[in-house]
Amino acid sequence: MALFNYESINLTRPTFRLARLLAGSGIHIYCEIFQAWLDQPEDIMPYEALSYTWGSEEMTDKIDANGKELGVTQNLYLALQYLRFENQDRILWIDGLCINQQNHKEKGHQVQQMGNIYHHAERVIIWLGPGTYETHVLMDSMTLLEQHCIDFPRNNDHAWRDTWSNIQPELKSNHSDLEVRQRNALESLFERSWFGRVWILQEVANARVAIVMCGIKSISARTFALVPSLLGVAPPFHCQSILDIMPGRSRQESWWSQKRDLQTLLLKFGKSVATDPRDNIYALLGLSSDACESDLLRADYSKPVREVMSDAALFLLRCPELQDKDFLYDFAMPQFLESVGFLSNVALGWAQKEKDEPLAKVLLAREDIDVNWKNKDGLSPLSVAVQRKHEQTVKLLLDRDDVDVNSQDKGNDTPLTIAVSVHSTKMVELLLTRDDININWMNNDGQTPLIVAATNQDMGIVEALLKRDDVDVNSRNKNGKTALLMAVEGGWGGVGKLLLARDDVNVTSMDNYGQTPLRVAERNRHNRHKELARLLLAEHVWEMTIKNKNGRTPQWLAARIYRTPKDLQRFRDEEQQQIENRLQFFREPTISKCIAM
């Protein structure tokens, strides 16, 4: 038998095809495929539209189409077996028969019309697949319910619940473990692949009338959507969203009647299954209230996935400044779909990475920007701007009352800790203009900004931090070391002198190993420690009775540094003047004075 070839359709008109499924039985299926036009509704013979799942795309079975052989998928072949009448032909629209899937232009043309195709159908048939004993029980239960409630309005919940309760005894006489079987059947139907397929959304939402068919049994979609509440079954989120758009009361009272822009649809159904990634977007165009007529987002299968994502992002953001900006350069479709709710932040992250501060300024002015959103590393826009030393962006962010200046990344570092880590005095000074900054925040290593700055020998940053009265100069890291001890261990006299200019600094604080700043200075008595040791000993050394773990006092350490009696006497004579100098130093703690000492 010759292979079936599709005749070309007129792509300038709303042309589509229909299939006449010829009556019969047995394994051989015969149909006739012909063209029709949506702009000539009076000439279109009544038809039904099939909503089903393709399953495998492999053409494992064959049917006779116009006297020629046409390959079909196993799922479609099985559905045709159940849909065929023995004594009457049936007019159907089925994408696997009525669209030439090999012609990209035709496919895009048909996708653009699919909403109208399903809307004009007399009825949409939702095919869930073959039935089981339990699904037959559920279908019979729903059919009996529908028969008893035929005169009840759909919004009369009490009447439907009462009727459901009243018919249970009759059903129990025919089926054991009735309620268990009913719930199991419904839950198993929600697990069928149909509920995960992206294209079914458009098919169901545009249906004027629909039936749900499982095996040889069927029920109206209106009734099917009500049954979960009667059985006390909570459908999975995506299943409930589909029930909400079925014809009837559910569609009228759900989110569908309130908001169905493209962003809402992508957020609800972005994880639906699509063989072609582009269909995750294209399948929703006909449903959306804002994108259905957009020239930017017309289905075009000649475009690569990346371009389709970019088009969708530009449509959603409506930001001309993003035109020709490749801010989704490393995104795949799943990542794009997960980012739909915060695309402005994705674009801002790209602008920061590319050092495009004018674009960042535009994006920060948007109402949909989340200034506290975090990227995969836990970094907020402020943390990123500080890390990259983008002064203008930092200023814009700090001017906003809603920015969290103490946002923590995965390492528990705040923007201030990050500013210190990248050795940026300017970033630190900008952050310190905010009164709500937590200057003593500890990261996962137990380090405060002051300890980090002291460790890094950043004189300018240490000075900026010490100007704040709320800085804790005696905070200890996880090893019990203070900023002063870190400065002494590194031999950084300038930083140490800045710290000693504070009256509240504790020069006798011991770390977890029993070390004090003075003991470390004495042990390493190099020239770079000696002047620092003098300042340390000026803290009323003669009144100190504190001892280290070896029982040694500050006086003993002083004697170690000033070994001769003459040196020690000179130290005694200079002590008072040293303290006066220190107090004067604290009144104006500048870097230049520290260097001069």
| Predicted pLDDT of residue 294 | 80
List strands edge to edge, sheet with 90-93: 68-72, 61-65, 30-37, 15-21, 90-93, 48-51, 123-127, 210-214, 217-220
Question: For position 154, what pLDDT does the model report?
Answer: 57
User: pLDDT value at position 558?
Assistant: 56
DSSP label of 4: P
pLDDT in tens, 478-498: 999 999 988 888 777 788 888
| DSSP assignment letter at 214 | E
Q: Residues 265, 267, 269, 273: what is their CA dihedral angle, to the nearest 10 degrees?
A: 130
Identity at 259, one-letter amino acid code: K
Ordered alpha helix ranges (H), 121-236: 133-148, 157-172, 178-190, 200-205, 221-231
Split at pLDDT 50, 70, 90, the class of 75 is very high
pLDDT at residue 354 above 80? yes
What is the reported pLDDT for 132?
A: 96
The DSSP H or E segment spanning 413 is none
Work out the pLDDT band at 584, boundaries 50, 70, 90.
Answer: low
Name the band, by pLDDT with cuts 50, 70 and 90, for residue 590: very low
10 Å Cβ neighbour count for 490? 16
* 39 vs 432: CA distance, rounded Å: 67
CA-nearest of 533, 403, 517 to 454 is 517
Give the tens place of pLDDT for each residue, 561-576: 555 555 655 655 655 4
Q: Which single residue is written with the structure tokens 């500890």?
A: 442
How many Å apart are CA 455 and CA 515, to the nearest integer?
Answer: 17
Predicted confidence (pLDDT) per residue in 211-259, tens digit: 999 999 999 999 999 999 999 999 998 899 899 999 987 777 777 777 7
Those residues with Cβ within 8 angstroms of residue 176's Cβ, 6 or more apart along the chain or in another chain: none
Tokens of 440: 């003593």
- Give the distance from CA 294 to its chain's centroid: 26
Pairing of strands 68-72, 30-37: unpaired
Angle at 210 between CA 204 and CA 214, to 5 degrees: 95
The dihedral built from the CA positions of residue 331, 337, 339 and 342, taken in this order, carries a sign that is: positive
529: pLDDT strictly greater than 90: no
Tokens 């990344």 -> residue: 409
**Quick one: pLDDT band at residue 554, thresholds 50, 70, 90?**
low
Give the pLDDT confidence of 260-311 residue by residue, as tens digits: 899 999 998 888 888 899 999 999 988 888 888 788 888 899 999 999 999 9
What pLDDT score was predicted for residue 291? 86
Q: How far is CA 130 from the centre of its chain?
A: 36
Q: How far apart are CA 284 and CA 291, in angstroms?
A: 9
In what helix (H) or strand (E) does residue 464 lie, and over which residues does it extend?
helix 459-466
Domains of the chain: 17-98 (no CATH), 304-370 (no CATH), 476-597 (1.25.40.20)
Q: Does 159 score more than 60 pLDDT?
A: yes
Taking the model in full, what pTM does it have? Answer: 0.74
- pLDDT band, residue 583 (cuts 50/70/90): very low
Q: Are 467 and 435 in contact (CB under 8 A)?
A: no
- Measure the CA dihedral 516/518/519/521, to 10°: 120
SS3 call for 18: strand
> How confident is the model at residue 373, as a pLDDT?
94
Bigger pLDDT: 248 vs 36:
36
Residue 125 pairs with which residues in a beta bridge?
Answer: 50, 211
**If 0-12 CB within 10 Å is exposed, 13-18 middle and 19+ buried, where does residue 117 land?**
buried
User: Given a cut of 50, is residue 439 above it in pLDDT?
Assistant: yes
User: pLDDT averaged over the chain?
Assistant: 87
Extract the tokens encoding 393: 């962006």
Helix (H) or strand (E) holding 70: strand 68-72
Backbone angles phi, psi at 78, to 5 degrees: -65, -40
* Distance from the first to the final alpha carbon of the chain: 102
Q: Which helix (H) or strand (E) is 32 found in, with range? A: strand 30-37
**Residue count (the chain):** 597
pLDDT of 386 higher than 70 = yes
CB 28 within 8 Å of CB 64: yes
What is the spatial distance between Cα 528 and Cα 113, in angstroms, rounded to a whole number? 81
Q: What is the DSSP letter of 7?
A: P
